[in-house]
Each structure stands twice: as C-alpha cells, then as structure tokens.
Amino acid sequence: MTSPTAHEIGPEQAWDELMARGKQHAQEAQWELALQVYTTAMSLCSDPTLQSDTARRHRVLKDLAYTNRCMGRYEQSLTILDELVPQLSTSDPLRLNVTGELGVLYRQLNRLEEARDAFYEQYKLATQLNELQRMCRAVGNLGMANYQLAQRDHDTGLLDLAAKQLQERVRLAQDLRDASAADPTKASKHDYYTILKAVGLSRLSICYSARGDNHRAVATALEAVQLETEGRPFSDSSVEAISRFFYGRALYRAGRQREALEQFDLPKKCSPAVAFCKEPSVEHCEYLQELLDAGAQMDTPDEHGYHALDYAVFNGNKTAQRIILKSLERNVSQNSTAEDVSERLDKRLEEARLRKHYREIFQDQMRPVLLSRKDDSLHRIRQTYASAIDSNIDFSKSFDRLKFVKYADFLTFNHFPRSNDGLTQKFNPKATNAASQHIVFISYRWVNRNPWARYPDNAENKQYHRILLAISEYLTLHPSLHPSNLGIWIDFACIDQDAPMPGISALPLIIAQCDALISLVDEQYHQRAWCSVEVMMVQALRERYGVHVWYEHVLEGGLRRGSRELKPEPGGKELGVERDRERVVFLERQCRLLC
C-alpha cells in the first residue's frame, strides 16, 4: 500500500506522516525502511512550503544520522552530524540528542576520548534540564567509554568508575520503568525503558567479568535476558541478541560452555553475530572473535533476510568479514574439498558485495531521483546509473550497462536477435536524443520446446511476432512517442549470452530505468519464476514511485494495464533450469529490500 503524496495531502502533513513511519521502522530496527522514509522526508524539506522550517530539517538530519549509524554507515553519519551540530545552539533541546549520537559514533570509531567528552557534555545538559531519560542514556554510554579506556590503559580506577556509572544507568532506567507503570500517560514508554535497563545490565556484566567476578557477571546478564521474557519481545531485536550474547559470554567465562552456546545459537529474529556486524567497531569485532573461538553459529539470517556477512560487507569492515568467513569455512568444510569450500565462500562474498552495490547505486543514487517524481525522472536515473558504472570499477564488474535494441532494427530483423548479432547498443547519456529515449522492457517465457534449446522462440517465431504486435498497440496508446525514439530491452539481445551474470545481476536496476514493462501473457506465463520476478519488480516500482508502467499483452484482448491486485511470488514458480532457483530467490529478496 502506498502512502498519500505531498501533492495529495500537503507537504506538512506528508512530512509528519513520514517521520512517524520512520520512527516506527526505527523502533523495530527496520533500518532499510527507516532510511527510505527519512530520505523522502528530507526531500520534502526542499518544498517551498517547508524550506524555511529549519526545525523540521534539523530533525530529519538527526534521524538520518542515527539511521546511518545503526546501519554501520559511520562516515555518512559523521558527515551529517558535522553539518548539523554547528546549527544547534546550546539551549536547543535537539542538541541534547545530537551530542549523545555524536558520542556513540565516536565510540564506534574507537575515538574514545572524544566519545567520553561528548557523553559528559550530554550528561551535563540532561542534568541541567532534568531529562532523566537522557541522563540514563548518557551516563550508561559514559560508563562504556570509561570501560573501554580502562581496558585499553589497564586502569582499575577507571573500571570502578565505569561500573558505578553503569549502576546509575540501571537505577535510572528502573526509576523510569516504575514511573511509566504508575502513570497511564507514560505506558507507551515502558518497553523503551525496559530496553534501557537491559542494555545497562548487559554492559554492567562485562565490568564484573573484567574484575573476575564471574558469579556476579552471570547473575547480572541473566537479569537482562529475563527482562525480555517478562512481557512481549523487545521491539529492537538487536538488543535482545546482544543481551543473549553477554549472558552467554558470562556463562562461557564461568566455564559453562554448553549453556553459553545455547545463548549464542538460539534461533531468533537477530543473532549476536548479525547485531555486531550491523554496527562494526573494534569492540564489536572483539566480541565476534569470541563467538568464533567459542564455536558459535554465525550464519543465521535476520528477519530481513540479511546475514552477518552481508552487514560486514555493507560496512566495509575487513576484520568482521575475515571472522565471519572463517566461521563459514568451518561450517562448509565438512565432507567438502578445499576447492568446493573456496568456491562456496567466494560465492557468498560476491552475493554480499552485490547487495552492497544495490544499496549504493539504487538507494543512495537512483532512488532520490525517482522520489522527485519530475517529468524527466527516468532520463535522469539513466544518467545516474551510467555515471555510477563509469566511475566505479566494482559497479562495472558487477552490473551490466543499460542496453536496448532500436525498434526499427528489431522490426526488420525478422526474428529474435542474440546479444552478438550486432543490433544491441548501450544507452549513451551524451547522445543528442538521450533525453527523448523511450525504452520498453519485454518480459516473456521461452517457448522453444527443445529441452536443450539455446534459443527462446519456436520455429514460427511466435514470440517475436507477439512483441511486434504488442509494441504496435503500445505506440497506438502513446501517440506522442515517435518510433525512432523507441528502444526494446529483451534479455536474449541485451544480456551477454556468453557471460550473463552482470546482466542478470543488474535486472532490478535495468527495470527501474525502463519506461514500461510489457508481459507477453499466455496460460503458462505467470507460472514461470523468471517472469514472476520481473513482474514483481515492476509492480514494486510502480506502486512506490508512480513513474513506471506495466502492461500485459494477452492473445485475445491485446494490451491492457497490469492488475494492481496481482501479487507474484517467484520463489516457488517453475524454472527451465533448477540451478537458477538461487538467482531468482536472490533477486526477489533484493526487490523487496530496494523498493
């Protein structure tokens, strides 16, 4: 379901709804979705109605910094905060939040003295304003900064100070919980205060472990885990995962290894390995190494389908990647040759890199253009994509360029062109007619009945003639479109048939750049997995951005608008080659994440 646009309800209300939705996604640790929503809200700040409203802009920047940090995108977060902090006066309540966020970021970057100073400033501001919730967060974070400094410098005095500060964090969190339980107007905050206490207890347990007080460390960490079982699960699955890790860690150090592994490997929405890879840091990599040494599983996906390796690659943390790959190697090495193991690990790493590239190209570059909903959006995202491929060698290795066959050439060729027939051309953003270029994606099933066929059409060129008929009807529906500006994307011509992977990997990005997708529907079309994944992609794009068009061409009835009610599920559909199943499932998952 799409949300009302700013044009329909006004930019102020649209902004408010987006921020509320972003907050909900953030509370549920759905960071991809939160980033999408906050980016949209940020684009609304350019609306003439909101341009002078700096308070709204500051709020979005703060939430974007937080979301990027929670996704492990530290440099992006730091850039935002560097822009935002100078704009906030010391009396601005928002500075209280932003100072704390800056401290967390510094701690993740192992800039411990700067983190300690930021948290101390936040704690002083919160105390002056009598903001108990912010005091609670600030003193807990201050305690962790001091704990890390104590470990680095072997300073027992700092370790004692850290423990006292974390004890204060737990006490303040409990006071907030008690107040929310007694006051119905604060009931909605009870879960959040419970999380504050759980995090405080987990961190306090590592101070006790550092002192060698294993009994107290286990009891304190267990108390944190038990908070999650008191009522409904924590809204942030990462908190629950990290609480289980610290409990398992305390058990492990107390010599209770079997019980510890049960905590590390307990099937949940988020594993400890995923939680630490989401926000990589020197500290978190140390915890990942402890998981590896203990023999914990580190390949359980989270609720969004991402694995620990995906997050480690997203964030560019080589240490985390090395640790996770070592764990994966241990898992797949049984009954496998060294060559098999190497091939499987290379494949997993490549898939993770592809997911990262999708995010970098689509989310960061193409999506903001689509959200602008300007008349030339598709031309501009073609330019954006071409520029991304040209400027990044990793992108150019992973993804094919946008290609097409000119309609006039297709019309006279009399059968399906192959990728090496010389008809395919690359989109050139500098061409004189680039802005008027119109590209239609043709989605069809192979009808050649020969099971060994390497050609998609039958002897009568059935699908070729259907494409001509569908395009003719498309041109009739769009009389302003000149045939000389029409290009056709068709897989057999536009994906290199001798080296297909870059073309297949680019499929979601290619469909996003096409003006329309036409499905050649027959009795088997919607049963085919590849057809369904293409329909799923254009459906998601059409619903989310409103600039793409999907048509079905049926044998009796011609061209019609594709149904908005159709919900394709590609994963279980038919395939000519079963080994393509993994590719289809991968692309299906990417579509859900991208759109």
Cβ 543 vs Cβ 458: under 8 Å? no
The residue whose two tokens read 């050439």 is 409
> Cβ distance 471 to 486 under 8 Å?
yes
pLDDT of the residue at 70 = 86
Tell me, rounded to whole angstroms, the distance of Cα 12 from its chain centroid: 27
CA 357 to chain centre: 11
Are the C-beta atoms of 109 and 281 separated by less than 8 Å?
Answer: yes
Long-range contacts at 72-78 (CB < 8 A, ≥ 24 apart): 72/277, 72/278, 72/279, 72/280, 72/311, 72/314, 72/315, 72/317, 73/314, 73/315, 74/105, 74/108, 74/109, 74/315, 77/101, 77/105, 78/105, 78/109
Q: Which residue(s) pair with 553 in the sheet?
A: 520, 559
- Predicted local distance difference test score (pLDDT) of residue 2: 46
| CA pair distance 30, 569, nearest whole angstrom | 22
Please tell me the distance from the alpha carbon of residue 170 to that of residue 158, in angstroms, as a whole number. 18
Mean residue pLDDT of the chain comes to 89
SS3 446: coil
Helix (H) or strand (E) holding 11: helix 11-27
Work out whether strand 549-554 and strand 558-561 pair parallel, antiparallel, or are unpaired: antiparallel
Kindly state the tokens that stand for 149: 């400094």
Cβ contact 534:517 at 8 Å: yes
**What does 132-198 look like in DSSP terms, one character per residue?**
HHHHHHHHHHHHHHHHHHHHHHT-HHHHHHHHHHHHHHHHHHHHHHHHHHH-GGGGGGHHHHHHHHH
What 3-state class would DSSP assign to 440?
strand
278 within 8 A of 72, measured Cβ to Cβ? yes
What are the pLDDT digits (tens) for 346-400?
A: 888 988 998 889 888 887 788 888 877 777 889 999 999 999 999 999 999 999 9
Identify the CA nearest to 166 among candidates 137, 190, 193, 191: 137
Handedness of CA 71, 75, 76, 81 (dihedral sign): positive
Report the number of secondary-structure helices (H) and strands (E) in the chain.
28, 7
What radius of gyration do the chain's Cα atoms show?
Answer: 27
Q: Hey, what are 360's tokens?
A: 């970098």
* Residue 17: count of CB within 10 angstroms of its CB: 16
**What would the pLDDT profile of 7-27 be if each residue is shown by its tens digit?**
557 888 999 999 999 998 887
Q: Please classify residue 113 by burial: count the beta carbons closer than 10 Å to its beta carbon, then call 0-12 exposed, 13-18 middle and 19+ buried.
A: exposed
Query: Cα separation of 447 and 462, whole Å?
Result: 8
Domain boundaries, the chain: 351-594
Neighbours of 52 (CB within 10 A): 8
Reading the block at residue 148, the tokens are 């890390």
Q: What is the mean pLDDT of each run of 10 residues along the chain (595 residues)?
A: 55 91 83 86 88 90 93 90 90 89 92 95 92 94 96 96 97 94 81 92 96 96 85 74 95 95 86 91 93 93 85 91 94 77 88 86 83 81 94 92 96 94 94 91 86 80 94 95 95 94 90 94 88 88 88 90 84 75 74 63
The pLDDT of residue 8: 58
**pTM passes above 0.85:** no
Q: How many Å apart are CA 187 and CA 145, to the nearest integer?
A: 31
